[in-house]
A and B are shown apart, each in its own frame.
Chain A
Amino acid sequence: MKLNGAQILVNSLKSEGVSHVFGYPGGAVLHIYDALNACEDIKHILVRHEQGATHGADGYARASGKCGVTLVTSGPGITNAVTGIATAHMDSIPMVVISGQVPSPLIGMDAFQEVDAVGITRSCVKHNFLIRDISEIAITVKKAFHIATTGRPGPVLIDIPKDITIAKMEVEEYPKTIEMRSYKSTIKASDHQIKKAAEMLATSKRPILYAGGGCIIGNASKELREFTHMTGFPITQTLMGLGTYPMTDNQSLGMLGMHGTYEANMAMHGSDCVVAIGSRFDDRITGNLEKFCPTAKFIHIDIDPSQISKNVIADIPIVGQTKQVLQALIDQMKNKKLADISNWWSQIEEWRKVDSLAYKKSPGVIKPQTVIEMLYEVTKGKAIVTSDVGQHQMWAAQYYLFDEPRQWINSGGLGTMGFGLPAAMGAKLAMPDRDVACVTGDGSIQMMLQELSTMLQYSTPVKIINLNNGYLGMVRQWQEFFYEKRYAMSYMEALPDFVKLAESYGHMGIRVEKEEDLKPALIEAFNQKEHTVFLDIVTDPSENVFPMIPAGGGHSDMLLAGRDEMVSKDETDFNAV
């Protein structure tokens, strides 16, 4: 039987078990849409902007662990998708993006809606392909899914010229497996290194586990929990790792880094052995590298060799999957006698007493921290929470105690405002039985508002928690600290009436101005199982995110809310981002 390229492409997606495609049609992909329309197994989500398609597929992938799939047209279709592709790339999210291209003979002729998609996306994908012949379609799709989902995952783009989607060929069976001589996805960690690590850990007097997104992507939470309980070591998690270990557990010190807890950062600073597990010593974690963990040896576990000794030299590098390496470490340490770390825990408990997330309530205004605490209470800590980028993101990370992996979905690496709403939609499509909340701010939400329309079309009831302080809060906070309160362009004078806006999109809207109305509003919102509810919550515009490691500072230089003045104004502040 002969099929055209579009049909072969759609059949290939079906063979990969794709259930949802987030996309937007256009000239170059019309044949593909025609084929997709005839396929009952794949649900297409028509977004309102291609960036929403990539974030939607991304949220879907993060919530479910499956590969997200996006379909966009040539030219502006793919350029609009780039922000979402880069977002997924920075956070190692498996995604396959299919972009239409102008017909092969027109490539390079500055044709209508032509753009060099492979060139534009090269630096923000794990790999990309330009298909040149119909016979390459199935094998390329196979390779793309293989590359996107194995090793350190990431987005893969397939650019497909329109003429190839209408050409016909005799159908061949979809390849079951794929061998690529230049890509090896399975890496067996060195037994020797694991033994060395186990020995170092057994004698460590001040150990700390520092777990990142690699534990979630690598589905290593079970092993991480077992390892942590078995050793009795304290554990801190990165912004990307939250939930991989229960934050309500006593061994958890919370998040570390720029806005991490006092106990987590001080424990890093005082540790003699830091075990990085699927984390990459990002600048938001380390602060000033010269002041970072001055007395520690480092064991670094990561699947990507290029992350090891990039920012911090590893004493014991272990290249491998977090899940397998942790299992091997559990086996190695089962019968080992560990050093007594009770003094270390006493010290950590002293740091904990500092209560670094304490904040002062003031009458008449709603504190943003209170909103997150109440959100936690009303959802019993069980919701999937997505966020945008800024102060609200940090408060959500600090005050919603995530106990499960894939519960917290945010753009940690690229820091993409606009991510939260489409990601929540994608997460709800992947996990229809879960409560999904999008914690956002009045700045971020306006970057992807149009997806409210998609959310009505596909009935994805999400609760939008808008911390409305009238400011681009994180920008304002930095301007207050480092620019002598010159608030350049961080105040939004003309905000829409978000309640009316939500209603105009067919959703419910509730405005909350008083703290006593907050809890009833949250309860009401989550009782509305069938509806997306937009909670526009007016919060204290002067609130800042604390604790904070000032730029140029180390983990022991933390500033605490109400206890330290932010006065640092040396030159390093201005070079930091």
Chain B
Amino acid sequence: MTTNRLGIGGSVSARGLRAPMSGALMLTYGILIVVSAVTVLPLFWAVSTSLKPFKDVVAYPPVLWPTPPQWSNYIPVFTNWDIVTHFRNTMIIAIGSAVAHVCAGSLTAYAFSKLYCPIRNLLFGLMLATIMLPGFVTFIPVYVMFHRIGMVNSFFPFLIPPWFGGGAWNIFLLRQFFMTIPDDLIHAARVDGASEFRIFAQVAAPLAKPAMATIFLFSFMGSWNDFFGPYIYLTKRSLWPFALALHALRDELTSGVGIGVVGSMTQNIIMGASLIVALPVFLLFLFTQRFFIEGITITGMKG
């Protein structure tokens, strides 16, 4: 307790030698530990359940961790799902719309921060107002539109709209970032005779890479986790992303289709499938969490 094993932060900290914990600090740690236990518990329980044989799933007192873990519970998921197809569909939607959000979002955000027009603030206010608009008001006509042009059961409803502006939140976040780039830099490039688009693409955009990475990640995860959009637009199984496959799996299991185990005996399999779908985004978050924290801070603080 008294030595810093990693030696980071130095043994001579500003606070001097570590004082014994005060009561308030212990209470703080106590609450943090309890809250994190509650936060992690559903996840832990899902992992544990996914590895249990059926008799352990329903056992009382509950089995905390099965011995030995029954990894074969994961097999039905792989046999029931065309996992390559669902992965491909998920990735097409997630990467396709993320690229569009980043490109279109930064173009719009650059205009709102570094280009001038008398009605710029008016338009920016209008854009912010669209954030307040409940999506349900627009989604029916938009669906009808895609239906009319025959794009239901295709990825286009996910891949086309992001190119038109790139999403209000993303524009907002990117704009906050572009604002920190000095105007002199833009002017200097202009004096050098660079075209406006080149200034954007070769001067401003490279400086905004961290913000663009944040947008990419937010968008990617948003698509990976999205249920409502695919649920409306994609009814063909061959087009389903993971979210829809997982949703259907539950019904299929409880009705006994395709797997041969019925009803509540399948919780371990459902938990396994949920974890398979959650694992990629979980890992992605683990390695890129700095971007998430910064992104969420910027949108929340300047809003």
State whether these chains interact.
no
